[in-house]
Amino acid sequence: MQYENKGRFIVKFRDIPSPRRHLLEIGVEERRNNYSEVELGFDEERALGEAKRCLSCRRCLGCALCWAECKPEAIQFDIQDEIIDLAADSVIISPGVERSLDRIDRRFGLAKDSNVITDLQLERMLSESGPSAGLVIRPYDGEIPASVSFVQAYEKAAPGMHLAALTFAINEASLLRQKLPKAEVVMFAGGLDDFPEGKKALNLAGVDVLNAPVQSVAPNGGSSVKVAFGEGQAREFDLVVLITQPQMSKDARDLAKGLGLGVTYADFLSGEGVGLIKTDKQEVQLARQA
């Protein structure tokens, strides 16, 4: 094959988001005349930083599996980058959605307990094409959870963003109920009284709703997770799902900035219905998220 004859082919990317974190090591003087471990591993800050780089190395190792599996033969290693100028009468930006983990307070236990996950992680778990083939399991031991709580992991958000976050969570809770019909499912979230359709959907799905702020989510000395809420109340759950804030993707924000648009992270969620959102430039519009 032409590719194989060229040998190892490694693509270098110029847009790697952040460099690798290096292991902590003891100093040279501390190493003298002893057998102390030199590499200390990652501290919590470095471990979290490295975990956030997952799939960001953007480096092709030249294994050619993509080329071998691509039946349309669309992968061409010899193709050269081109810059093409196009003239268009109008531009529609489809912003997409990101779930920023930086906005989640540490008191909610993310990365401290394996049975505390985000709604995006649950979405992958619920998917038949996901890592668990649609099976909902506890990361702690791989068991099926008997109780699951959804916890609003932010205090305040723009009305459109909050509505979108609740919509995502309600859909997931309903799907989870179908997967685990005998499990206890509870949602801790505010603002559901202003979203009667969502509250009705939760009630029909058999999901309990508690309009009480959650103070903390913490390990409970085993496989369960302790959720402290209200005034001195607490309950234990096998799995806790943190409801995160959807926001406009960084790529879309950078594109909007390049076009000179004054858009905010929640603009694509504003308004009612579906369709396009006008911007301060007549020829550029945003695609609203349904």
Tell me the three-class secondary structure of 32-44, residue by residue: CCCCCCCEEECCH
For the record, the structure tokens of 7 come out as 């040998």
Is residue 241 a contact partner of residue 172, using CB atoms and an 8 Å limit?
yes
Domains parsed from the chain with CATH numbers: 2-69 (no CATH), 91-96+247-287 (no CATH), 101-244 (3.50.50.60)
Please give the average per-residue pLDDT across 4-26, as a whole number.
Answer: 63
Amino acid 176: pLDDT: 93
> The pTM is what?
0.65
Cα atoms in the Cβ-side hemisphere of radius 13 Å centred on 158: 14
Residues 217 and 104: their CA atoms lie apart, in Å, by 12
Go through the chain and tell me how many residues it has.
Answer: 290
Checking if the pLDDT of 69 tops 90, the result is no
Q: How confident is the model at residue 237 (pLDDT cuts 50, 70, 90)?
A: very high
Distant-in-sequence, close-in-space partners of 67: CB < 8 Å, separation ≥ 6: 3, 75, 77
| DSSP 3-state of 177 | helix
Give the number of other CB atoms < 10 A from CB of residue 21: 17
Average pLDDT, the chain: 80
Nearest C-alpha neighbor of 123 from the set 241, 5, 285: 241
Residues 144 and 71: their CA atoms lie apart, in Å, by 38
More confident residue, 122 or 92: 122
Amino acid 7: pLDDT: 46
Most confident of the ranges 57-61, 81-85, 157-161: 81-85
- Cα–chain-centroid distance for residue 50? 16
Query: For the chain, what percent of residues have pLDDT higher than 70?
Result: 83
Checking if the pLDDT of 54 tops 60, the result is yes
Name the least confident of 105-119, 158-172, 275-289.
275-289
Q: How confident is the model at residue 11 (pLDDT cuts 50, 70, 90)?
A: low
- The string of pLDDT tens digits covering residues 20-31 is 778 888 888 888
Checking if the pLDDT of 149 tops 90, the result is yes
Amino acid 31: pLDDT: 82
Query: For the chain, what percent of residues have pLDDT higher than 90?
Result: 20
| DSSP 3-state of 167 | helix
Please give the average per-residue pLDDT across 94-103, as a whole number.
Answer: 75
Measure the CA angle with vertex 244, ends 187 and 169; round to 5°. Answer: 40
- The string of pLDDT tens digits covering residues 254-266 is 887 887 777 665 5
Amino acid 38: pLDDT: 85
Measure the CA angle with vertex 276, ends 267 and 121; round to 5°. Answer: 55
Residues 253 and 245: their CA atoms lie apart, in Å, by 16
Is residue 51 a contact partner of residue 111, using CB atoms and an 8 Å limit?
yes
Distant-in-sequence, close-in-space partners of 43: CB < 8 Å, separation ≥ 6: 24
More confident residue, 192 or 11: 192
Distant-in-sequence, close-in-space partners of 254: CB < 8 Å, separation ≥ 6: none
| DSSP 3-state of 65 | helix
Residue 173 burial class via C-beta count within 10 angstroms: exposed 0-12, middle 13-18, buried 19 and up: buried
Amino acid 213: pLDDT: 85
Checking if the pLDDT of 180 tops 50, the result is yes
For the record, the structure tokens of 41 come out as 């591993």
For the record, the structure tokens of 39 come out as 């590499």
Backbone angles phi, psi at 246, to 5 degrees: -75, 145
Q: What is the DSSP letter of 125?
A: H
Is residue 238 a contact partner of residue 138, using CB atoms and an 8 Å limit?
yes
Please give the average per-residue pLDDT across 29-46, as a whole number.
Answer: 83
Please give the average per-residue pLDDT across 246-253, as a whole number.
Answer: 78
Most confident of the ranges 2-11, 40-49, 176-185: 176-185
Amino acid 261: pLDDT: 77
Name the least confident of 58-62, 64-68, 174-178, 180-184.
58-62
Nearest C-alpha neighbor of 256 from the set 287, 231, 221: 287
